[in-house]
Amino acid sequence: MPSKNPLAGLAGRNFLTTDDLSDSELEALLELAARFKARGPGALLAGRILGMVFFNPSLRTRASFEAGMFQLGGHAIDLSIGQGVWKLEHRDGTVMDGDAAEHLREAVPVLARYCDLLSVRCFPSGKDWAVERTDPILSGFAAYSDVPVINMESSLYHPCQALADLLTIREKLRKTKGKRFLLTWCRHPRALPTAVPNSAALIASRAGMRITIARPPGFDLDPDIMARVRANARKSGGSVEVVDGFEAGFDGADVVYAKEWGSLDHYGDDAAEKALRARHTDWMVGARQMKRTRDALLMHCLPVRRNVALADEVLDGPWSVVVDEAENRLHAQKALLVALAGKAGPKAKTRTAARARR
């Protein structure tokens, strides 16, 4: 481990979005993840506890964090809100005479006393985007916790997915600079959140890729996210274009990142949103589209609805790397956990002594 490890600076910090990371931190994190994947991490987090708080369902996230903590010698506690755990309030000054039995202002500091790291999944509730885009629950965790908080998907971001995505692209394509990255909208029976497309665009724009975002009119991502994607691209030497049509973006693509999401223009107005979505049932990725690419990687964060968003023929075809992507969640998150716990930098050398004092 180099004596000037950029990951040392991550110790004790929150990880809410990939833009929290400097370029050298991001680079070092991906290198650590690749090393863990190749060799196994060892018991770097022996005795450490991750408290996972889920306000929404999860398969990969739950399993990969729990597996990762165990493989690092630590332990993950699974707390699913509303399933055997009290409902939580986040608004300040509320008279709490409704459903929620507890406020984040108590629950988070208490969990921070039991756990060395906390992680939170909280999807938006689909009512008011002006509120949701502030990520009130995640922000509450970050504000009230004095241990690092990891975003396991919020209204705005899914940064652990983004780390795994970039790790996967680098494994498969070696270099990312100048490669063509298509982020394409897909159809879905429900108006899904925009956290994954946001984080995919943000990480691709960090990697110097030439990004095309293809979505039907009315399905633009949040303007602040787009501004940051453009700023990232300028800095990394990449580019960003947004197109209306489904097919053209596939031409010459090196990566096809398919994702379903709902319209922010009609956020909270389910009927209008559904009507708009229903006009674009042709947006399903099939072999015809993939054949227009440069044998692109087909990526998707999962879960995916077969023959709705993606056809069987592409998920079962030579393009799909969706399972590798999901596997890389494990390795990227282990690197992240180790870094946030302060075990990845030069001071990691003293960890045996530190643990002995615990």
Which of 3, 4, 38, 95 touches a second copy (CB under 8 A)?
95
Q: What does residue 136 show for φ and ψ, rounded to 5 degrees?
A: -60, -40
List the one residue from 7, 32, 107, 256 that touches a second copy (CB under 8 A).
107
242 binds a second copy, rule: CB under 8 A: no
Cβ at position 9, least distance to a second copy in Å: 27
Answer for which of 110, 278, 287, 354 binds a second copy (CB under 8 A) is 110
Burial class (CB in 10 A: 0-12, 13-18, 19+), 48: buried
Contact between 80 and a second copy by CB under 8 A: the answer reads: yes
Q: Which residues in the 50-79 window bind a second copy by CB under 8 A?
A: 51, 54, 57-60, 62-64, 66-67, 70-71, 75, 77-79
Q: How far apart are CA 140 and CA 118, in angstroms?
A: 12
Helix, strand, or coil (residue 237): coil
Question: For a second copy, which residue of 3, 4, 38, 97 counts as binding (CB under 8 A)?
Answer: 97
Cis omega (within 30 of 0) for bond into 136:
no
- Within the chain, strands assigned E span 49-54, 75-80, 88-89, 102-103, 117-121, 149-151, 180-186, 210-214, 239-243, 255-260, 297-299
Q: Which is nearer to a second copy, 92 or 244 (CB)?
A: 92
- The angle formed by the CA atoms of residues 162, 193 and 138, to the nearest 5 degrees, is 70
337 interacts with a second copy by CB under 8 A: no
Question: Half-sphere exposure of 273 toward its Cβ, with a 13 Å CA cutoff?
Answer: 21
Provide, rounded to whole angstroms, the least separation between the CB of residue 67 and a second copy.
4
Among 1, 2, 35, 109, interactor with a second copy by CB under 8 A:
109
Please state, in angstroms and rounded to a whole number, the distance separating the CA atoms of residues 210 and 191: 27
Structure tokens of 160? 């652990």
| x/- map, 265-294, a second copy, by CB under 8 A | ------------------------------
Q: List alpha helices for 207-350, DSSP H.
A: 223-236, 270-278, 287-290, 312-315, 322-340
x-marked contacts with a second copy along 183-222 as a string, rule CB under 8 A = ------x---------------------------------
- Read off the DSSP letter of residue 296: P
What backbone phi and psi angles, to 5 degrees, belong to 286? -125, -175
49 contacts a second copy (rule: CB under 8 A) = yes
Q: Indicate which single residue of 3, 4, 38, 83 sits in contact with a second copy (rule: CB under 8 A).
A: 83
Contact call for residue 352 and a second copy (CB under 8 A): no
Residues that bind a second copy (CB under 8 A): 40, 47, 49, 51, 54, 57-60, 62-64, 66-67, 70-71, 75, 77-80, 83-86, 89, 92-97, 100-103, 105-107, 109-111, 113-115, 189, 302-308, 312, 315-316, 322-323, 326-327, 330, 357-358
